């Protein structure tokens, strides 16, 4: 079953305000459903598609200092697997991050479009983590 995200969670992953996500949901631009209690939920697969289609172009400013502990929370938008490797794409706000890992690791993490994930970047390696719930 695909994951669903509350408006605030979707806003954080997209790098926008909660009001923006509400407006997109109310206008039908971003598909959302309401729970019996009236709370809006967005299907993870729909959120992944929206994130890819609406990712803003962004100029990267020069780096003055950096840390080896860069972490980008986002949503998995694409997973391509072969017999040994998996190519995973994550949309984290305006950033599209890709990671190559073993197929076994991707399978164990249950990575698929719509899954919330964190890309931890160190040097040239991107490690994908799942947030504790």
- Per-residue pLDDT tens digits for 83-97: 999 999 999 988 899
Q: How confident is the model at residue 131 (pLDDT cuts 50, 70, 90)?
A: confident
Tokens for 130, please give them. 């799942």
- Claim: this prediction has a pTM higher than 0.95: no
Full DSSP string of the chain: ---EEEHHHHHHHHTS-HHHHHHHHHHTSS--EE-TTS-EEEEHHHHHHHHHHTPPP-PPPPPS---S-EEEEEEEEEEEE-SSEEEEEEEETTEEEEEEEEHHHHHHHT--TT-EEEEEEETTEEEEE----
In the numeric block, which tokens belong to residue 27?
Answer: 């206008």
Confidence of residue 121 (pLDDT cuts 50, 70, 90): confident
The predicted-structure confidence for 95-120, as pLDDT tens digits, reads as follows 899 999 999 999 999 999 999 998 88
pLDDT in tens, 41-83: 999 999 988 988 887 655 545 545 445 467 788 899 999 999 9
Q: Which domains does the chain have, with CATH numbers?
A: 4-53 (1.10.1660.10), 70-129 (2.40.50.100)
Q: Are 126 and 119 in contact (CB under 8 A)?
A: yes
pLDDT for res 75: 93
pLDDT digits (tens, 9 = 90+) for 11-20: 988 888 999 9
Q: Which residues pair with 72 in a beta bridge?
A: 119
The residue behind tokens 């197929």 is 103
């Amino acid at each position: 079953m695909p994951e669903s995200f509350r408006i605030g969670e979707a806003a954080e992953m997209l790098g926008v305000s909660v009001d923006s996500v509400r407006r997109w949901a109310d206008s039908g631009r971003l598909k959302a459903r309401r729970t019996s209690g009236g709370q809006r939920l967005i299907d993870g697969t729909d959120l992944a598609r929206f994130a890819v289609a609406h990712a803003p172009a962004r100029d990267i400013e020069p780096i003055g200092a950096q840390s080896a502990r860069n972490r980008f929370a986002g949503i998995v938008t694409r997973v391509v697997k072969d017999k040994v490797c998996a190519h995973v794409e994550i949309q984290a706000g305006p950033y599209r991050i890709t990671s190559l890992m073993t197929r076994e690791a991707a399978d164990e993490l249950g990575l698929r479009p719509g899954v919330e994930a964190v890309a931890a970047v160190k040097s040239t390696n991107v490690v994908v983590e799942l947030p504790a719930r």
